[in-house]
Amino acid sequence: MAAQPPQVVSLPADNSIARVGRPLVIVAHDTEGVDSRNTLQHGDGRGVSIHCLIQKFPRANHTTDVLPGLPPRTSGVVVYRMVPDERGANHAGFSTWTYQGKTYTPSGVSVNAISLGFELECKGKTDPTDHYTDDQLLAAGWLINLWRAKFGPLPLVRHAEIDPTRRSDTFHLSTTELEKWANAATLVYNPPPPVIHTVTAGPFGAIAQEDRRPGALAARYYPPNTPIPCDDLTSSYWHTVDQAGFIPVGQVQA
């Protein structure tokens, strides 16, 4: 029997940005501090945010509260959901990353607009004796698998890999090790099956475009009455299972 997934709690962040297309990469961070909920929820005057914060319990400062109205935790982890997957979070804005011949930079399309990010609560290089717990790393693996089930085989990078002059996180934790925890999580938790909806191209056909913007470049044409399996409906655009792109809802019959 599969174990129960980690506790997930909604803690909406104040700051997020519009996506450009679909998430293309997962970025792993550590917080370099203790209890970063307030910083990541309200931006710390810099507009920072994250999709998910993975906290261990008790925290390094010995606190055990989760959220008002919820029982405290003396062990395990909580995954705080802060920015919806359909929005970008402000977590890697100074980074540079190249994928399939296109480079994402602070001065162009930002890494924030095409990534998903999580923070592991840990003091990191400020206190090397403060370690990630197995529960945290297993929760990170669960989250990585969850996102890949939803968005396809996304690559995983450490923040330090895409912003090497400014960042060193995740401290003493490589992407290879994180991938091992993702593999372990598949043995512990049953990954959720993707939900597939089949829509039908309208009487004039349907055009999948590269991203969810009016006038975006066309990627594929589906003839009239063609069945089109889709795995996501966001901002009035269906996303196709074949990864061709995004179809405006007005061009199909659900």
Can you give the pLDDT of all 254 residues of the chain as single tens digits? 467 889 999 999 999 999 998 899 999 999 999 999 999 999 999 999 999 999 999 999 999 999 999 999 999 999 999 999 999 999 999 999 999 999 999 999 999 999 999 999 999 888 988 999 999 999 999 999 999 999 999 999 999 999 999 999 999 999 999 999 999 999 898 756 678 999 999 999 999 998 887 888 899 999 999 999 998 888 789 999 988 899 999 999 97
Written as one letter, the residue type at 94 is F
Identify which of 89, 105, 95 has the alpha carbon closest to the alpha carbon of residue 43: 89
Q: Which amino acid is at 93?
A: G
Task: Give the H or E element holding residue 119.
Answer: strand 115-120
pLDDT score of 164:
95
Residue 35: how many CA atoms within 13 Å on its side-chain side?
12
Tally DSSP H helices, then E strands, for the chain: 4, 15
Rg for the chain, CA atoms, rounded: 19
- What local confidence, expressed as pLDDT, does residue 191 receive? 59
Q: What is the CATH number of domain 7-188?
A: 3.40.80.10
Q: What pLDDT does residue 192 have?
A: 62
pLDDT of 213 reads: 78
pLDDT recorded at residue 82: 96
Domain boundaries, the chain: 7-188, 197-253
Where helices occur in 30-89 by DSSP H, the ranges are 37-42
**pLDDT at position 125:** 87
Class of domain 197-253: mainly beta
Block residue for tokens 């917080």: 31
- Cα 104 to Cα 18, 52, 67, 158, 240: the distances in Å are 15, 22, 36, 16, 24
pLDDT at position 216 is: 83
Q: Where are the alpha helices (DSSP H) in the chain?
A: 37-42, 134-151, 159-162, 175-188
Instruction: Report the pLDDT value the prediction gives residue 3, as an integer from 0 to 100.
Output: 73
Per the structure block, which two tokens stand in for 234? 């966001």
What's the whole-model pTM score? 0.77
